[in-house]
Structure 1
Amino acid sequence: MIILMTLLLAVGAIFMIAGTAGLLRFPDLPTRLHAVAKADNLGLGFIILGLIVHTVSNGAGAGVVVKLLLIWALALLGTAVNSHLLAVREDDG
């Protein structure tokens, strides 16, 4: 289980770093938002899955798993809303 957890956390970190590279590389706001939103959401998903593997292997209850999934769902929603609002604000000038 430790190998699976470590692999999921490492993949999540790689996606987060890739999102940061996209933020620094792309020229305008919409492409930067796209790179960061997609890569960071996927990276957070892998990190949450790694944490779920860790909590389940340590005997934590289902409540912890539900809380972790709720955190991920709220982050997905928040990222989508923030990206949309920033893109609309950029279009308005």
Structure 2
Amino acid sequence: MTVTTVTQTTQGDETGDDILSGHANITTMNTLLNTTEEGFYWVLGDIVSIENFREWCYLSCPTCNKKLKPEEERFRCSNCNETLAEGVY
């Protein structure tokens, strides 16, 4: 795990009542990463990028949702046996 920006986070229970009531403990991300204390932690952050090591989505047939295979300048659905100009993600 790589932390590029350190911001504040809260520690509380799993229901979030501590946060709503204003009784949450505030700590830094570095402190949280080094803690050995078990518990529920709420972390607020922004996702700035996603590294896609595996294909988790694919171009699919709009009729049956099966993965399309490129065929010349179109796409082929082997399930529907159709050639399509475009598919859906």
The TM-score with structure 2 as length reference comes to 0.21
Judging by fraction of residues, say which structure has more strand: 2
Higher relative contact order (CA 8 A, sep 6+): 1
If you compute each CA radius of gyration, which structure gives the higher value, 1 or 2? 2
Judging by fraction of residues, say which structure has more helix: 1
